[in-house]
Structure 1
């Protein structure tokens, strides 16, 4: 079994406690990650607060660019690891690795940009012939908490900007998909990142995550995940900066003058890509009544072509959701909608962690999946009278 450590300021550490990661498709172990203790968390925080010589812009840019190159060279290795621990199909995980490569490339460019400003003081009658200049300084310590649904790209979006400005980070990835984050941490060290700029830790919520969020020595908590967890962080982080990127419930509005073939394609991609596990996914399809029947026919025909099953199969377009519990929650939302009048046109029943593309019509506007984010490949269709009705339902 793949066994990976936590990293504290560049040093691999273990505590004897492990987090086992199961492949959502077959329930076989994908690997395990070493959990740390509260004492080791304190060691990590202390290590990042010790004075260190700052890297130059050139050095930070070089490290980021090299990381992108190393990641590109290992695209298939990372894609298969993401698939193994998350259940996302290979076509999605390969795409994710490509996006992460771009993030490091862009961050390498940004590291070279001097974003200071110069202002003239002699712009008024009482002004002096002087100049004022500003400098932007990196934060002292960042706590980055990432979700399971993009275990590489979400981590890259947290780490790359911080490295670009020279801010140290303690990364706490999701316990459901920690393996990819550890491998990326190792890749950054390989690219030349000094240990004092990055730790990657794992452990129980009350022992590691909550104490890290509340610690007064942390300058910023950046979190991507559910609205419920985001609200908890906002309420407990204390007097520090927070950057909270939370869930969504995005509608796709299809009016009578739309290109229905294109609309059906956008709806399928929006609902089913990444197994519907994206905060930017389409959660509701609002269709003007005059074109509802034609759109539904086109959409349903296209949805049937989205092959679902083994995420490691090259032909699969929709893999599993993160685990069986998540799939059961999605099925429960479908059953609740059905019990209140919705019609299931496709899918609707999970098998383990596999939730197939699911299309529903005549969905009541008060159904659970109409009002709450259901994180999976569900496509509820709603009839709307006009744009005003669509906007009212959207909000």
Structure 2
């Protein structure tokens, strides 16, 4: 039997003493043994903080994002190796695809977020300047800095790759090293992926460590800059969450626990409608995907009383076609549970539900189940099981007890208000789905039940062709939920990165805050130069480089010409009588004429390092510009983001954000905004 080693302090190590065995989900064969007894687990905290933490914190967000992309590419090129190991967990090819390639896609997604939205710096100014005084020389901003601790990730068995990578991506992007503690039952797949990451040499030493087995006394040595995340059962999560050390040091802890997610069939849907078929398909997919071992799986099927029989027959018919066995055999639709211990737990929960108001409609026992290419006695197989609860208001067990396998319970309602009530009786869910063709039904369900869910899907015929489905967490959307679901949030785009960072409000003069953030704030020092800013390469530009333009007087002809060119003949610009009765009291220039005229004042027309203007942000028209007013523009280099050179042929470049202030003849600001330009760099860095 092989030993599944941990990666601690730069070494692959195996513990001493008693070990725990990992079994093949399909054959029951003993595959590996794990042990962490005697390993320097406590020392791994200091090692991660010092080696991985120092290296990651020194990298900019852009560099971390590029690292994520490189790791993702490396793993994707070696995915076949991971698929082979995933088969040992009882997963089908589709199950493995979601876990392996879905996890890698998360790395790509966060890399893209960094490239588009994060600074080429080690600190992250989170918001714009907040003025604190009348004269503008006392301001504030919130900044985010990397915690100089370790993120301890404790993951569940059902997604050994995706569950790790969904946490690793924002952790590394935040500049924080991680210690991964996978569930022992599927640790062989996590260990295989970590070994590839280490082998790649793409991440700093100490940025990732792996514990295959128990965590020993590591909790007792966590410190205030460390972070703990947990995915798994609510009981285990609550036990860890209440650890005295977490309370003593105020250590952030986020939990994602299994929940009794629901799917609601709208009161409007009839069997002949496409939404009815979509509902049945979604239920069966959620029951059988990963053999029902998903924290987001549908456990409660809530349908109108008038459609109860139709839904029941449709589900039974579709479930009867689900073939169970070895996924390597052609035609097998569902594999095994992770191990026989899990199968026994599912069986126990099904029997408990049966004793507490639920009737078994199909499945519910391993006796007589036809297994293709496997043995019901040695493999951890369990049949798709549909239950029915006739009185879900009285029998609370259906809202409190989860059989973590291919099990779901059917129940009915009479009004949409009752459907919402049943949904909320789950006391907090990761995901919910409402299937309806009527916007009014979707509106009522979502507005009244969203408070009990982390994510909700509205499914109809229009969305079905592109929908990722009820149980698919996406990198840009929050994954988590209130109450029973744990009360935490993961993913959600850049929100996830902020979880591993410290937010600090800084106050001071604009020049001081500019120096700290490396982003110019209005009121800070500027640097005038005879060379026009648009004549400078990316490297030559300095934060605070400024240009005060010539002036331009706005005429009636400007308004008429712009109206003819744009087609904008709004009365405030063109109707003298109407404009006199408006809040302006007279005709005013088009706001977009002011922006266009400003560009005409600050743009340098000749060929130069500026490649393109590709965006405008935070445009505000502060005061009207009237006929006869004279405008002038101050253009200031606000921030710079160096972009990676993707190919040898690409011009090396970076993004420059310019602050634009448009004044009138009285020095009063009439328009404020930022523009983004792509500016050529002198030297490339393509590798």
TM-score, normalization: structure 2?
0.53
Compare the two structures and name the one with the higher helix fraction. Answer: 1
Of residues 96, 113, 121, the one that matches 1:110 is: 113
Question: Compared with structure 1, are the counterparts of its residues 108 and 255 closer, same or farther at alpha carbon in structure 2 (3 Å cutoff)?
Answer: closer
Match of 2:203 in 1: 193
- Establish whether residue 154 from structure 1 lines up as the match of residue 189 from structure 2: no
Match of 1:13 in 2: 13
Of residues 172, 177, 182, the one that matches 1:163 is: 172
Match of 1:378 in 2: 407
- Establish whether residue 254 from structure 1 lines up as the match of residue 265 from structure 2: yes
Please state whether the residue corresponding to 1:244 is helix, strand or coil. strand
Instruction: Note the C-alpha offset of 1:380.
Output: 1.3
Of residues 47, 54, 60, the one that matches 2:64 is: 60
- Establish whether residue 95 from structure 1 lines up as the match of residue 98 from structure 2: yes
Residues 8 and 199, structure 1, Cα contact 8 Å, conserved in 2: yes
Residues 16 and 37, structure 2, Cα contact 8 Å, conserved in 1: no
- What RMSD, in angstroms, separates the aligned Cα atoms of the two structures? 2.4
Instruction: Note the C-alpha offset of 1:125.
Output: 2.1
Match of 2:30 in 1: 29
Q: What is the CA–CA distance in structure 2 between the aligned matches of 1:370 and 1:271, rounded to whole Å?
A: 17
Aligned ranges for residues 1-395 of structure 1 at < 5 Å?
A: 1-17=1-17, 18-33=19-34, 35-38=35-38, 40-50=40-50, 52-53=54-55, 54-84=58-88, 86-112=89-115, 113-114=118-119, 115-117=124-126, 119-120=128-129, 122=131, 124-125=133-134, 127-128=136-137, 132=141, 134-191=143-200, 192-204=202-214, 208-209=215-216, 211-217=217-223, 219-236=226-243, 237-238=246-247, 239-258=250-269, 259-339=275-355, 342-350=358-366, 351-352=376-377, 353-365=380-392, 366=395, 368-394=397-423, 395=425
Question: Compared with structure 1, are the counterparts of its residues 118 and 264 closer, same or farther at alpha carbon in structure 2 (3 Å cutoff)?
Answer: closer
Higher mean alpha-carbon deviation, 86-95 vs 242-251, is at 86-95
Instruction: Note the C-alpha offset of 1:356.
Output: 0.8
> How many aligned positions are there?
389
Residues 118 and 131, structure 1, Cα contact 8 Å, conserved in 2: no
Q: What is the CA–CA distance in structure 2 between the aligned matches of 1:172 and 1:314, rounded to whole Å?
A: 34
Residues 8 and 211, structure 2, Cα contact 8 Å, conserved in 1: yes
Question: Compared with structure 1, are the counterparts of its residues 3 and 216 closer, same or farther at alpha carbon in structure 2 (3 Å cutoff)?
Answer: closer
Q: What is the CA–CA distance in structure 2 between the aligned matches of 1:383 and 1:130, rounded to whole Å?
A: 58
Instruction: Note the C-alpha offset of 1:48.
Output: 1.7
Residues 13 and 39, structure 2, Cα contact 8 Å, conserved in 1: no
Question: Compared with structure 1, are the counterparts of its residues 128 and 212 closer, same or farther at alpha carbon in structure 2 (3 Å cutoff)?
Answer: same
Q: What is the CA–CA distance in structure 2 between the aligned matches of 1:118 and 1:291, rounded to whole Å?
A: 51
Question: Compared with structure 1, are the counterparts of its residues 387 and 214 closer, same or farther at alpha carbon in structure 2 (3 Å cutoff)?
Answer: farther
- Which has the larger Rg? 2
Instruction: Note the C-alpha offset of 1:283.
Output: 0.4
Which of the pair has the greater relative contact order for Cα pairs under 8 Å at 6+ separation? 1
Question: Compared with structure 1, are the counterparts of its residues 343 and 373 closer, same or farther at alpha carbon in structure 2 (3 Å cutoff)?
Answer: closer
Q: What is the CA–CA distance in structure 2 between the aligned matches of 1:2 and 1:74, rounded to whole Å?
A: 22
User: Which consecutive unaligned segments of at least 5 residues does structure 1 have?
Assistant: none
Residues 80 and 90, structure 1, Cα contact 8 Å, conserved in 2: no
Q: What is the CA–CA distance in structure 2 between the aligned matches of 1:336 and 1:4, rounded to whole Å?
A: 36
Higher mean alpha-carbon deviation, 19-28 vs 355-364, is at 355-364
